[in-house]
Structure 1
Amino acid sequence: MTSSRHWLALCMGSALLSAALLALHVPAAVLLGCMVCAIAVAVRGTTLAVPRTLFGWGQGLLGCLMAHSLQPQHLGTVVQSWPVFLGATLLLIAASTGLGWWLTRRQVMPGTTALWGMAPGAATAMVVMSESFGADVRLVAFMQYTRVVVVTLVAALVTRAVVGPLPDSASAIPWWPPTAPQALALTAALVLGGHALAQRLNLAGGSMVLPLVAAALVQGLWDWTPALPPALMALAYAAIGWSVGLRFTRGIALHALRALPQVLLSIALLMGVGLATGTALVLTTGLDALSAFLATCPGGADSMAVIAATSAVDTGFVMAMQLARFLVVLVAGPAVTRRVAQGSAQAGPPPL
C-alpha cells in the first residue's frame, strides 16, 4: 500500500472513530479518535509522519483555545479567594508529583515521563509541553488521556447520581459558524507568528505558549478574540493526535499496557487527594459538595466545564479552580519536573 493510501485509510478511520466518540460524548473525542487510529497504523509497521510545521500550528491553535478560557470573571474569583485556590492547587500538584516520582522509582515510566503524565493540567497542553522537556510524549499521552477518561466518567456518574441525567447536548455541531474575517486573520497571525518566533528563538513549547500569552493579552487589553471554528480545531486535534500516535511502536504499546494497572492505581490515589481537598473546601468555605468535587477533580478542565455548565453547581468557582491549577502547572511544571527528576537517582526502564 502506498503512502497516499495509508494516509487515506488513516483519515477515513479517524473520521469514523471520532464521529463515534463524539456521539458517545467522550472528552477530546476528535483528538483521541485520531490518536488511536494513528497508533493502530504505527504498530503495524507503517511509516508515516506529520510535518513538524503542521504540528506546531496545531499547538498554536490549542494555545489560542486555552487563552479563550481565561475569562475575566474567573480570574477575578481566583484573585478574591487566592489562599483557597493556592492551597488546594498546590496540594493536588504535590500529590501528582509524588505519584509521578513513585512511578519513576518503580521503573514504570522512564525519566520525566511519569511526572508529566501525572501533571493535573490541561491534558493536551501537558502532552505538547512534555516533549520539549525530555519526556516520552507517547507514554505521557497514554497516561494523560487515561486519566481524563476515567475522571470524566466518574465525575459524570457522580453528577448524575446527585442531580439526575445531564441535558442531552447531541445537537449537530456548527462546524463552521459565521465568523468575522478579522477574527480569522487574528488567529492566523497568532498561530503563524507564534510558531515562527518559537522556531527562531528555539523556545521549548513556544509554539503553544507564545500564541496563548499573545491571545490572552489581546483579549484582556483590546477585547479582541481569535476565531476558533470547530472545524479548524478538529484539524488541530488531528495534527496533534496523529503526530503523537504515529510515533508509537509495538514495544511502546506493550509497555503502556503493562503499566496500565499502576497508572490506574495512581489515578485512583490522585482522585482520592482531590476528594479530600474538596471535603476540606466544603467544611471550611461552606461550598456545596458537588461544586467542590468538580472543582478539585484532576481531569480535563474542558470536560469539567461541560459537566458544571449543565448542573446546579457554582460554575464560576469550578472553572476558576480548574483554571488556577492549569496556570500553576503551566508556569511551574517544567521547573518542578526537572528538579524532581534530578533529585531522583533512578534510571528509567530498559530501552524499548
Structure 2
Amino acid sequence: MTACIAGEAAESVVPASHLLVPLVVGFAAAISGLVAGKVPPSVNRGSQAVLGVMIGASLSPTALLQTATAAVPLTIVTALTLVLSLAAAALLAVVARLDHPTALLGMIAGGSAAAVACAEDVRADARLVAVMQYLRVALIAATAPVLVGWLLASPAPSGGSPPVNPPAWRLVTGPHQGAGLVLVVVIAFAGTIAAGRLRLPSAALLGPMLLAATLTMTGTTAGFAPSGALRSALLTVIGLDVGLRFTRSALSRMGRLLPLALACSVVVSVACAMLAWPLSRLVHIPLTDAYLATTPGGINAVIGTAAASNANIPLISSVQSLRLFCMVLLAPLLIRLLTRQGRPEEQAHGRSGRRPPT
C-alpha cells in the first residue's frame, strides 16, 4: 500500500512512477533487511496476465487505421529498431559477460514493464533488466521535451488533443466497469491457460496479450483495458517484485555494468532519433511527430511531450503501441532461439552469472 501511494504522489515528476517508485521502495526494504522474500509467484503471474491484457487492448482497429497509409516505412523502422536493440544486447553480452536473456530484455526498445515482468520466465536477471530499461526511460523522459522544443522553433499544430487521464475509480476503460472487469479476469485466465498448453514463452504475459489483441482487432469487444487504480496496482506489484530481489552483491555487479549500459542506451536512442528524418520524408509528417513516434520506449513521457507540443497524438500512440506489441511478442521468441543456438559452455556460464547469490 505504501509503495502504491508513493507512486501516485510522484506521478507528476517521475516517469513510469507507479513502477519505478515501488521498485525503489522494494529495493530499500530488501537492502536494509526490513523485508525478506519476494512477491508471491501467483500474485506476480497474475499481474503479468493483466499487463498482457492491457498491452493487447492497446491495439485496435482505430490504431491500425492511423498507421495503415505508412505501413511499409513503419515496418522498416520497427525492424531497424529491433536490429539496433539486438546489436546493443550482443555488445553487452560480450563486453559485460551478461547472459543473452538479460542483455536482450535490458536493451529491447519498448515495453519496459513487460520486459521486467517476463524476465523471470526466461531466466533473465530482473534486477539488471529493470536498471537497463529504466535508465533508457529516464534518458528519453529527460531529453524528449528538450529535443522537441528545439525542433519546434516555429510551432505548427499538427493535430491531436491532450490525453485524458481516466478517474482513479475507473478500473478499466469504457463506461461498463463491471463487464470490463469480468472480461479482464476471463481473458487473463483463458489466455494464460491457452499459452501454457501451446508452450509459448512467458505464457502469463503473451497469452492474455494475444487474446486481448485478437478481441479488440476483430471488434468482438471493447472497453476492458486496465486503467486507473487497477493499472497502478499491477505496475506496483511488478516494480515491488523487482525491488525486493536486490542484494548487496547484485549492486556491486550493477555498478560495473552501469557505464556500458548507459552508453548503449544513448547510442540506441540517438540511432532511433536519426530514423525520424527519413520517416518524416517518406510519410510526409512533421519531423517532431516522426521523432516522437520512433523514440525507443518511455511511451508515457512521449505522449505527454506530444500533448504539450500539439503533435499528432493518435499517430504517435498508434506507432508506439504497435512497436510495443511487436517487441513484447518477439523478445521471448528471440531469447529461446539464442539460447538454443548457444554452445553448452556459454549457457552454463550465463546460468552461473545470471543470479547473484542471495
TM-score (norm 2): 0.84
Counterpart in the other structure of 2:313? 315
CA contact (8 A) 1:183 1:225 kept: yes
Give the aligned partner of residue 8 of structure 1: none
Please tell me whether the aligned partners of residues 108 and 259 of structure 1 are also in contact (alpha carbons under 8 angstroms). no
Q: Which residue of the partner structure matches residue 53 of structure 1? A: 42
Q: For the structure 1 residues 143 and 137, does the alpha-carbon distance in structure 2 shift closer, same or farther, using more than 3 Å as the test?
A: same
- The runs of 5 or more residues in structure 1 that have no matched partner are 1-10
Shift of the alpha carbon at 1:77?
A: 3.7
Counterpart check, 1:82 vs 2:80:
no
State the identity as a percent.
27
Partner Cα distance (2:314, 2:39) in 1: 38
SS of residue in 2 equivalent to 1:130 = coil
Structure 1 segment 136-175 matched on structure 2, within 5 A: 136-163=125-152, 174-175=167-168
**How far apart, in 2, do the equivalents of 1:171 and 1:181 lie?**
21
Partner of 2:230: 232
> Residue 218 of structure 1 is aligned with which of 203, 210, 215?
215
Q: Distance in 1 between matches of 2:5 and 2:117?
A: 25
What code does the residue aligned with 2:98 have? M
What is the 5 A alignment of 1:167-206?
Answer: 174-177=167-170, 179-197=176-194, 203-206=200-203
Provide the C-alpha distance between the structure 2 equivalents of 1:326 and 1:228, rounded to a whole number of angstroms.
Answer: 16
The answer on whether the counterparts of 2:201 and 2:333 sit within 8 Å (CA) in structure 1 is no
How far does residue 229 in structure 1 lie from its aligned partner after superposition? 4.0
User: 2 CA distance for matches of 1:179 and 1:77?
Assistant: 26
Q: Distance in 1 between matches of 2:223 and 2:8?
A: 28
What is the identity, as a one-letter code, of the residue corresponding to 1:62?
L
8 Å CA contact 2:306, 2:313 repeated in 1: yes
Match of residue 38, structure 1, among 26, 29, 39: 26
CA distance in 1: counterparts of 2:225 and 2:270, whole angstroms: 38
Which residue of structure 1 aligns with residue 159 of structure 2? none
Determine the C-alpha separation between the residues in 2 that align with 1:223 and 1:134.
35
User: Matched residues in 2 for 1:40 and 1:170: separation?
Assistant: 34
Q: Give the structure 2 partner of residue 4 of structure 1.
A: none
Other-structure match for 1:287: 285
- Consecutive unaligned residues in structure 2, runs of 5 or more: 156-161
CA contact (8 A) 2:206 2:329 kept: no
Q: Distance in 1 between matches of 2:193 and 2:166?
A: 32
In structure 2, how many angstroms separate the alpha carbons of the residues matched to 1:104 and 1:94? 15
Return the alpha-carbon distance in structure 2 between the equivalents of residues 225 and 16 of structure 1: 26
- Following TM superposition, by how much is the alpha carbon of 1:206 offset from its aligned partner in structure 2, in angstroms? 1.6
Aligned to 1:27: 15
Report if the CA contact (8 A) 2:23-2:243 is conserved.
yes
TM-score, length of structure 1 as denominator length: 0.85
Supply the distance in 1 between the matched residues of 2:319 and 2:181 (Cα, whole angstroms). Answer: 30
Matched, 1:209 2:198: no
Specify the SS of the correspondent of 2:124. coil
Alpha-carbon RMSD across the aligned residues, in angstroms, is 2.8
* Equivalent residue in structure 1 for 2:88, among 79, 99, 108: 99
Structure 1 counterpart of 2:25, which letter? Answer: C
Amino acid at match of 1:258: R
Paired with 1:264 and 1:215, the residues of 2 have a C-alpha distance of 34
The 8 Å contact of residues 104 and 114 in structure 1, kept in 2 or not, is answered as yes
